[in-house]
Structure 1
Amino acid sequence: MTPRKPRSPRSRPGTAPGHAIESVAADSGGVTVHWQRYSDTVFEEQPAAGLDAALTGMRPDTVDWLHFASVPDATALRWLQERLGLDPLALEDVHNGQQRSKLEFYEGHSFMVVSVPVPSAEGLGLEQLSLFLGPHWVISFWGGDPALLEPVRQRLRKSVSGRIRKRGADYLFYCLVDVAIDSCFPVLEAIREGIEDLEERLLEKPGGVEATEIHGVRRQLSGLRRLVLPGLTALQQLLHDEESPLHPSTRRYVRDVLDHQARIGDQVDNLSELTASLHEMHLSAISQRMNDVMRLLTVIATIFIPLTFITSLYGMNFDTTVSRWNMPELGFRFGYPLVLLVCLGVAGLMVWLFRRRDWL
């Protein structure tokens, strides 16, 4: 997994909810947003508009999308609370970050958090996309790769007579949720390819895969599993809750997103099972390798048992002049070569027997 980013300071235990936002003075100085305003006949875009100017220029006859490329400080968030009436609890969730996927309904607006998997060279991390939906506006906060939301921007720029320009803010809200959730599929495909590569390496050479590689994949899937169930719950709320701000014509598209989220959950479960099987194969390969080593050592020890007996027997060196029963073979002229030949013969015979029984 990617190293954890420094988190915003959290309130001390016992602090009143929303204190981080409500305890500061409202100020939008120096804060810029990517502002897009559109309707079926109008389209305007300012990539670096001042927050105050954007909030002042919002009109009820168009849809306004204000996007923050990073999370602003508490003073700017307080400005949003003052101007648009955004709930301080939701703004505190934006400020703190690291929230699970969820959906909240407030008076005059809705708030949704979508956890987005972000691959990197170090592994896989989770970033938070925060979305506010109002009667004719959407406000988004995303500090990750700007390319995530670029397909939606392109649709707004090019689709002069398309569906997205003819519908309200709830459809834009759906589009942002959809692109965030669909970003899981390339990540899952990359994980699947990694698992298949590990499986091929394990089959070709049992010792060619380290346990840390398998555990790394399991940690990634564990992180993805944490976003599946909360995401399903939030989307079901968006579809079925009486307070849902979605127009009936938009809900059928959200059902498709819900289906995508369910497919993501199924794929995560499937990949988890494959990883568990891979882990079992790895343990089995280690066990088999250990058994092979132990079998080889046992065969070697078994071969040397009779040789040890022969050499220890003839190492007693009883004096044959005292008694004729005291190992007369010690007086043979070729006794030593004969013992060596007997030892080699016994060892060769045992090796032949072991190979015939497929023990070697």
Structure 2
Amino acid sequence: MPNNIRTRMDTSKIKPKVLQQTIAANKVGRKPGYLYVPAGSFKPRLFLLSFDEDFYQENEFNTYEELLHFYRQHPHARHWIDVRGYADLPILEKFIADFDIHPLQMEDVINDYQRPKVEENDGRLFIISRMINFTKDKCLDDDQLSIFTGANYVITFQSDYEDCLDVLRERIKAGKGVLRKRPVLYLAYALMDVVIDNYFVVLIQIGEYIEALEDCLFEQPDKKTLNQILNIRREVNKLRRIAWSERDKINEMLRDEDLVPDEDMRPYFKDASDHTIQVIDLIDNYREMIGNLTELYLSNVSNRMNEIMKVLTIISSIFIPLSFFASLYGMNFSRENPHGGVNRLNMPELYHPYGYIIVLSAMGLLVLFQLYFFWRKGWLKWSG
């Protein structure tokens, strides 16, 4: 991979309002099928995998003309034309002209925030899938994979240079299995199957992250942990929307014989549909786990607050009678009356030679009695 490859802009960190305004600014008032190059797009890299049962060749071409020339020189082979990057509008227009791609479909390719779907045009399919990756920032990196099928080719478009399809490229290169023997629709299925299988990898990573968050909740729940729980809930909901759309797309292909006319291919798409159901089941399970984490966080915070309030209540309970003693002997009723007599009932113990020691001892004994009483009741035990 060249050293000058940039990292794709993470659109998941862009505020939805800003993203919508950016897209709308490029589309409002434009005619249908208008093509524009999104800001920050990569320069296209053109790859071609050509193969049949006895032939395989992989090339990266510097120009579109070289790729087209090689493709036309091998009409009997099957071809995977892999385009990564959108920043060259003339190349995209050449694909439209040479491979009979509808401008509206190319518009969906460039505006790569489309939900998974499938369209049919004169026996050729236009399929959109969404590739996902769980980043180090614990967010979903969502990239669109656009697939066009033809008589002897499959064309894929994506905005990034990196993807999850290397395992499929290695399978084609190794020549094992039926990839080189099957028609191009099988290659389109294999692309979708790898994308769906990668969902399981992402779900494993999400599951491990949820377990780590659960451990954090037991050790030291704080607002940072709560924010992480809310963030992963948002990402899981995003993955659920993608998985449901992927399932709907494959089910549509199974229902419509024009989309999958080959009966031999239908079991493969049925298997892909089953995988999407498994993905959705796991996602729903994780959503429930995340909901339990939120409840666990609130419960732990409430328990910690209750423990704090218990300590403060015990301290208050100890000092309330002590405050009573102190306030009682702080009243300072006069011992002598204005007539020179003695008020014998006005706190005579104030003049006892050991009165101060007696009061302090009484207060200390009261504190010890309270602590013993709290201990016997089990109120001094710290449950945190």
What do you get for the CA RMSD once the two structures are aligned?
2.4
User: In percent, how many aligned pairs have the same letter?
Assistant: 33
Pick aligned residue for 2:208 from 193, 206, 227: 193
**Deviation string for 1:70-92 (max 9, x for gaps)?**
23433222111111110111100
Tell me if 1:340 matches 2:350: no
Q: State the secondary structure of the residue aligned to 2:31.
A: coil
Q: State the secondary structure of the residue aligned to 1:165.
A: coil
* Alpha carbons of structure 1 residues 246 and 46: separation in structure 2 relative to 1, 3 Å: farther
Pick aligned residue for 1:96 from 103, 111, 116: 111
**Deviation string for 1:123-181 (max 9, x for gaps)?**
2221111111112110001334635211222222221x741111111011111111111
Q: Equivalents in 1 of 2:66, 2:220: separation in Å?
A: 64
* Conservation of the 8 A alpha-carbon contact between 1:111 and 1:132: yes
Q: Equivalents in 2 of 1:144, 1:88: separation in Å?
A: 21
Q: Which moved more, 1:116-125 or 1:314-323?
A: 116-125
Q: Equivalents in 2 of 1:162, 1:353: separation in Å?
A: 78
Q: Which residue of 2 aligns with 1:326?
A: 346
Provide TM-score, normalisation by structure 2: 0.85
Q: Which residue of 2 aligns with 1:33?
A: 46
Q: Equivalents in 1 of 2:219, 2:134: separation in Å?
A: 28
Shift of 1:15: 2.4
Q: Which residue of 2 aligns with 1:285?
A: 300
Q: Equivalents in 1 of 2:161, 2:67: separation in Å?
A: 23
Please list, as runs of the form range in 1=range in 2, the aligned pairs for 1:1-360 lying within 5 A after superposition.
2-4=12-14, 11-20=26-35, 32-48=45-61, 50-56=63-69, 57-58=71-72, 59-122=74-137, 123-144=139-160, 146=162, 148-159=164-175, 162-206=177-221, 210-322=225-337, 323-360=343-380
Counterpart of 1:3 in structure 2: which amino acid? K
Q: State the secondary structure of the residue aligned to 1:302.
A: helix
Shift of 1:11: 3.4
Q: Equivalents in 1 of 2:45, 2:94: separation in Å?
A: 13
Q: Equivalents in 2 of 1:236, 1:83: separation in Å?
A: 31
* Conservation of the 8 A alpha-carbon contact between 1:195 and 1:275: yes
Q: Which moved more, 1:134-143 or 1:195-204?
A: 195-204
Gaps of 5+ in 1: 24-29
* Alpha carbons of structure 1 residues 218 and 171: separation in structure 2 relative to 1, 3 Å: same
Counterpart of 1:39 in structure 2: which amino acid? D
Provide TM-score, normalisation by structure 1: 0.90
* Conservation of the 8 A alpha-carbon contact between 1:35 and 1:49: no
Q: Equivalents in 1 of 2:273, 2:227: separation in Å?
A: 34
Shift of 1:106: 2.1
Q: Equivalents in 1 of 2:62, 2:103: separation in Å?
A: 24
Counterpart of 2:371 in structure 1: which amino acid? V
- How many aligned residue pairs are there? 352
Shift of 1:108: 4.4
